[in-house]
Copies of this chain bind each other. A is one copy, B any other.
Amino acid sequence: MIDVAVVGASGYIGGELLRLLLDHREVRVGAAVSTRLAGSRVDRVHPNLRGRTDLTFTALDALGDHDVVFVAVGQTAGLDLVPRLRERAKCLIDLGADFRLRDPGLYERYYGTAHTAPELLGSFVPGVPETHRAELAVADAVSMPGCMAVASILALRPLAEAGVVAGAVTVDGRIGSSGSGVRAEQMNLHAERSGTMRLFAPTNHRHEAEIAQATGVRARMSATGVEAVRGAQVVCRVPVREPLGDKDVRRLYRQHYQDEPFVRIIAQRRGLYRLPEPKILSGTNYCDVGFATDPDTSTVVAVAALDNLVKGGAGGAVQCMNVRMGWPEHLGLEFPGLHPV
Contact = CB atoms under 8 A, between A and B. Distances in A.
Nearest to A19: B336
A interface, how many residues as a size bin? 35 or more
B168 A297 contact: yes
A191 B47 CA distance: 13
Nearest to A267: B202
A103 interface: no
B48 A170 contact: no
B193 A47 contact: no
Contact of A15 (B177, B279, B284, B339): B339
Interface of A: 12, 15, 19, 22-23, 44-52, 168, 170, 172, 174, 176-178, 180, 182, 184-199, 202-204, 220, 222, 224, 226-231, 233, 235, 237, 264, 266, 270-275, 277-280, 282-284, 286, 291-294, 297, 299, 301, 303, 305, 334-341
Contact of A202 (B12, B199, B283, B303): B303
Nearest to A339: B48
A235 B275 CA distance: 20
Given A189-B189, A190-B188, A294-B203, A278 B197 contact: yes
A299 B341 contact: no
